[in-house]
Amino acid sequence: MIGILKGMATTMKHALKGEKFTVQYPEETPEVSARFRGVHKFSQERCIWCRQCENVCPNDTIHIVTDDQRQGEEYNLHIGQCIYCRLCEEVCPVDAILLTQNFEFTGDTKDELVYNKEQLKNVPWYKDIDPLESREPDRGAWIGEGDGEVDYQ
Amino acid sequence: MATQTLPEFIADVTGLGTYGVGGEIVAAIIGAGIVGTIMLTYTGIAGPWAKRKITAAFTDRYAVNRMGPFGLLTIPADAVRLLSKELIIPENVDRPAFDIAPLIVAGSALLGFAVIPMGSLFGINLQIADPEAGLAFVFAVASIATLGLTMAGYASANKFSFMGALRAIAQNIAYEIPLVLTAASVVLFAGSLQMSEIVAAQTLGGGTEPLLAVAGLEIPPWFAFVNPFAFVLFMIANLAEVGRNPFDIPEAPTEIVAGYQTEYSSVYFVLIYLGEFLHIFLGGAIAATVFLGGPAGPILPGFVWFTIKIWGVFLFTQWARSAVPRVRIDQLISIGWKGMLVLSFVNLILTAVLVGVIV
Amino acid sequence: MSLEKSRDDALDAAGDVDPQAILDLLGDRVLDTEEHLNADIAVVVRPDAVEETLLALRDEAGFDHCSLVTAQEYEDRYESIYHLKQYDDPTNEVSVVVPAAKDDPVSESGNAAYRTCDWHEREAYDLVGIEYENHPDLRRILMPETWQGHPLSMDYDQDRPQVVTLGEHDNPLKDDHRDEDSDTMFLNIGPHHPATHGVLHAKTVLDGETVADVDPDIGYLHRCEEQMAQNGTYRHQIMPYPDRWDYGSAGLLNEYAYARAAEDLADIEVPEYAQVIRTMGAELCRIAAHMLAVGTFALDVYGDFTAIFQYAFRDREVVQNILEDLTGQRMMFNYFRLGGVAWDLPEPREDFFELTRDFLDGLPGKLEEYHDLITSNEIFQLRCVGTGVVEPEVAKSYGATGPVARASGVDYDVRRDDPYGYYDELDWDVVTEDGKDNYARVLCRLQEVEESAKIIEQCVDLLEEWPEEERTIQSNVPRTLKPENDTETYRAVEGAKGELGIYMRADGTDKPGRFKIRSPCYSNLQMLPEMAQGEYIPDLIASLGSLDIILGEVDR
């Protein structure tokens, strides 16, 4: 009986202490880390249409259409199908595609979740956090022997 | 010391008493309606709201807090939701039994409230009837629920329900006897099976002496203090009878899906669900009457104390649910027949000796 | 013991495998030898001599652990590979390669030697198409009974319609399981069930409340992980997938398995700093996975979302917060890369260390709470002590690993016996219990959480003092990685549930030729009939919970 009573005493202690672990979303927005992988943001200014992101994507989520001059026409990313692995951001040589911390996106149908390059450009930052700023010290890490100085113009 | 029962009061106030037996019957029905409404209100608060709030307190969470003040609007919202669901009746079920079973489960609990002395509120004594064998009546009626569970499980044409029904029978039979014996053992002190007599034997003033008078604080002779061993046994047997942890084998959700409730949806499910809570409150009411002095208590009206006591028992069942695991069916049966039965017989004999020889 | 004496014949003075002794032992059953990166020797034997070979290796050379049975198809033949190890020293490995003819792939079953082979060969039959003689029950395991074709074989037609007539399709809802003579009742537990840890279908035959027989039917969560890995490049595309095998928060442990196997295949070095980070991340995942396991086990025994489940999840959330800061995601991390990790600890480093140390400081109090609620509870002990008993010999024969085996006294832990990462430089113990029952497994998991906490603490101390200029997180690995043609390896790590191993064969391209996953839950689940027969249904549910299966890993 003692064991049972000890167990019951433990739960009663929790009840009387009254600390709550729940985050009352949406009144309180949770603190996410700077590295959190949310919806992508695409920069048409930087993209050089090298198709590295399309090649590396594990489940063919990115579709790029270029004309015969290798100039980009369409950049489609299905954010419903994406597994948010961040490989596209990792291989992009010019930081044209980033994963923001924004996880608050919705769509009524699955087709609404296919974002073209206009929509990807307009994805808002979550709580105005620019992920590049948080990742800058790490940017150079995976370039191997590089010194890690990335110059944003 | 029988005070006026509720139907008599209604008959006097409304003038129905002049119509003879028919008027008394109508008054009784009105009285039953009032008590039934009060009890169903409690159940309605307990089921969708209080149970979740209490569980959340034990588990460091917020519970229902979105709809209305303190989330109380969840209750009508839940009611609408449950009642608006589709009533699915599988093909092979045994029709009359399938339909009647939920009514039996809920009805037997409500019927038991007929003889519980609930104290007085604004001068009105809320007890519908006060027969001389009140305690026996309550136990008899409460155990009709077992029949309801069995009907539900057997009629559902579902192997999981069937197993739940068999387990329910075994459990209820095993724990019925210790329940009745422990209650009866303290009734020896009161000397009568009439519910109001039992309460009177525990109330201070008018002939009964306090158990202890400590620094001006008089502890009333509640049978829980007189024989705490019997009280503990009764609470454990009560948990088994209502089917709550650690004895919730008949509806063990992680083993047999939902036991006897598996095939029920919409209205039938509401009846069974509320019936379960009604049984918890009925068990609490019996415990309060027999062991905790019924509606006795200082300052506040009797009915308020009664409410506090039955909600206290409800809280205890929720507390046990949060922390105590479920016993296996064979262990449950062996605890019932070998452990509880022996202990309750010992308790009965000792009490009989005490009352007969010493007092 | 004669086993000891004969084992010495196969081992040379250093306790390693002596290839010549093995060849002498097997004599003329050996057709050829091959080079595998992991095995001390890989012998090719005739398909009709499999049973004798395996029995000889088990009894006379002491290889009592059959890790995996791989099946694959080449242009000119089929092949089954039996990877044999020793529980006492898993660095001693022998691979038995069994070729089978292309037009009629038949080979002998190894079930008489190792019970592991039962389900592994069923899967080989199901997915690749090799038939095994003398197998007690050769039917499909992952695919439905009526599937046509073998998905991983080369001539499989994906577009072929799989419509089968009603007569051939076995309808489990039909009541033709009624046997007039017996008193038993057939019950389908799952796949829709509140307690089956995923979509597991257990076909149970009940005698009253006693379980007469249980037959687990898996495959409801088969997502062709092996084939998807075979369609992805080594360097980048495969790495997100291992997170999704054991999805119960053990993502980094799965990634570790893939990283270890691929780095072995392509001969890549991992810098020491990255190894420390990997070790720390893996142990954090182990704590999270064990919290989940204990929480859901309490759910099974206590019924329905009671306090322990909620507390376990609350504690797991804290671990997930730490991992979110480190890797960027709370569950599917994709953090390891071949040659290291994706990025260094988050800046500022002190905040991360403080967060981790706060968690580690709070952990003993929380474990104390679990002991109050679970292990010292008499009813819990009534339910779990003495139920789901697995004898150590049975566990070894089924290839059980992880907390399930360690709770039966089998002292086997890949982190200590076949070291990788930074484990051999840290101070920690392997937890074994002698109880052999469900209670021992829960105790084992709770104590392993403490051990993991020790490891994390040491890693954090190391990382804090690591000199700044030596913090290399990834070695140089080319973008397109093409390991040499025809290299094969099998490497295992200690996943949350046991030995998680990957067999990979490179065919000269940038995608694997064969990618076979050795799932610990798969081998552990095979033991369920042994554990549950003769006991009651609640014990069956409790045993299933204590095995701690994650269907994502079982079905892949």
Tell me: the pLDDT tens digits for B11-40? 777 776 677 778 788 888 888 888 889 888
Q: If you average pLDDT over every residue of chain B, what do you get?
A: 82
**pLDDT band for position B210 (50/70/90)?**
low
CA distance A102 to C357: 29
* For residue A137, pLDDT beyond 60: no
Question: B340 to chain A, minimum CA–CA distance in Å?
Answer: 14
B169 touching chain A per CB within 8 A: no
More confidently predicted of C129 and C172: C129
Smallest Cβ–Cβ distance between C382 and the set B55, B61, B331 belongs to B331
Would you call A4 and B324 a contact, using CB atoms and an 8 Å cutoff? yes
Would you call A3 and C232 a contact, using CB atoms and an 8 Å cutoff? no
Is residue B351 within 8 A of residue B343, CB to CB? The reply is no
Per the structure, the complete domain to which residue C46 belongs is given by 2-133
List b or e across C506-545, with b for residues whose CB sees 16 or more CB atoms inside 10 angstroms. bbeebbbbbbbbbbbbbbbbbbbebbbeebbbbbbbbbbb
The pLDDT assigned to C150 comes to: 87
Q: Which of B51, B328, B330 to mutate to test the interface with C (most CBs of C within 10 A)?
A: B328
Average pLDDT over residues C186-212: 80
**pLDDT band for position C278 (50/70/90)?**
very high
Is residue C287 within 8 A of residue C447, CB to CB? The reply is no
Last residue of a domain, one of C133, C150, C168: C133
Average pLDDT over residues C125-137: 88
* For residue B217, pLDDT beyond 70: no
What percent of chain A clears pLDDT 90, i.e. is strictly above it?
1
The pLDDT assigned to C1 comes to: 38
The pLDDT assigned to B68 comes to: 80
* For residue A148, pLDDT beyond 50: no
* For residue C361, pLDDT beyond 90: yes
The pLDDT assigned to C53 comes to: 85
C301 touching chain B per CB within 8 A: yes
* For residue A144, pLDDT beyond 50: no
Q: Which chains touch A (3 or more CB pairs under 8 A)?
A: B, C
Per-residue pLDDT tens over the stretch B114-126? 888 887 777 777 7
Distance of CA C412 to the CA centre of its chain: 13
* For residue B258, pLDDT beyond 70: no
In a domain, C15, yes or no: yes
Would you call C538 and B252 a contact, using CB atoms and an 8 Å cutoff? yes
The total of structural domains in chain C comes to 2
Residue of A nearest to B322 (CA): A11
- Reduced to 3 states, what is the DSSP secondary structure of residue C228? helix
Would you call B326 and C538 a contact, using CB atoms and an 8 Å cutoff? yes
C536 touching chain B per CB within 8 A: yes
The pLDDT assigned to C277 comes to: 92
Last residue of a domain, one of C114, C133, C152: C133
In a domain, C10, yes or no: yes
Angle (CA) B195 B201 B204, round 5°: 125
- The segment with the largest mean pLDDT, out of B178-192, B249-263, C458-472, is C458-472
- Reduced to 3 states, what is the DSSP secondary structure of residue C201? strand
CA distance A128 to A122: 13
Domain parsing of chain B, residue ranges: 85-358
Q: If you average pLDDT over every residue of chain C, what do you get?
A: 85
Average pLDDT over residues B64-85: 85
Q: Which residue has the tokens 């907390």?
A: C403
- Reduced to 3 states, what is the DSSP secondary structure of residue C66? strand
The pLDDT assigned to C159 comes to: 83
Which residues from chain A sit within 8 angstroms of residue B323, using beta carbons? Answer: 4, 7-8, 10-11
Which residues from chain C sit within 8 angstroms of residue A36, using beta carbons? Answer: 324, 328-329
Which residues from chain B sit within 8 angstroms of residue C314, using beta carbons? Answer: 60
The pLDDT assigned to C290 comes to: 92
- The segment with the largest mean pLDDT, out of C1-5, C299-303, C374-378, is C374-378
Q: Which of B16-20, C486-490, C497-501 has the lowest mean pLDDT?
A: B16-20
**pLDDT band for position C147 (50/70/90)?**
confident
Would you call A138 and C343 a contact, using CB atoms and an 8 Å cutoff? yes
This prediction has a pTM of 0.87
In a domain, C254, yes or no: no
Is residue B237 within 8 A of residue B340, CB to CB? The reply is yes
What percent of chain B clears pLDDT 70, i.e. is strictly above it?
91
- We report the CATH number of the domain holding residue C10 as 3.30.460.80
Would you call A87 and C332 a contact, using CB atoms and an 8 Å cutoff? no
The pLDDT assigned to A150 comes to: 46
Q: Which two tokens stand for residue C538?
A: 């609640």
* For residue B343, pLDDT beyond 80: yes
Q: Which of A4, A35, A103 to mutate to test the interface with C (most CBs of C within 10 A)?
A: A35
C185 touching chain B per CB within 8 A: yes
**Cα–Cα distances in Å, from C288 out to C307, C312, C352?**
17, 9, 18
Smallest Cβ–Cβ distance between B62 and the set A14, A15, A22 belongs to A22
* For residue C333, pLDDT beyond 60: yes
Which residues from chain C sit within 8 angstroms of residue B243, using beta carbons? Answer: none
Average pLDDT over residues C180-206: 78
Distance of CA B172 to the CA centre of its chain: 14
CA distance B325 to B163: 20
The pLDDT assigned to C6 comes to: 45
* For residue C204, pLDDT beyond 70: yes
Q: Which of A33, A83, A90, A143 to mutate to test the interface with C (most CBs of C within 10 A)?
A: A33
CA distance C311 to A11: 10
The pLDDT assigned to C180 comes to: 63
Q: Which of A2, A5, A11, A12 to mutate to test the interface with B (most CBs of B within 10 A)?
A: A11
B315 touching chain A per CB within 8 A: no
- We report the CATH number of the domain holding residue C535 as 1.10.645.10
The pLDDT assigned to C305 comes to: 66
Q: Which two tokens stand for residue C253?
A: 């442990």
Question: A91 to chain B, minimum CA–CA distance in Å?
Answer: 42
In a domain, C511, yes or no: no
* For residue C121, pLDDT beyond 70: yes
Helix runs in C466-519, H state only: none
Smallest Cβ–Cβ distance between B322 and the set A11, A18, A24 belongs to A11
The beta strand positions in chain B, using DSSP E, are 120-121, 124-125, 212-214, 217-219
* For residue B330, pLDDT beyond 60: yes
The pLDDT assigned to C457 comes to: 92
Last residue of a domain, one of C102, C133, C164: C133
Question: A94 to chain B, minimum CA–CA distance in Å?
Answer: 45
Q: For the beta carbon of residue C169, count every other beta carbon within 10 angstroms.
A: 11
> Quick one: C302 and C449 in the same domain?
yes
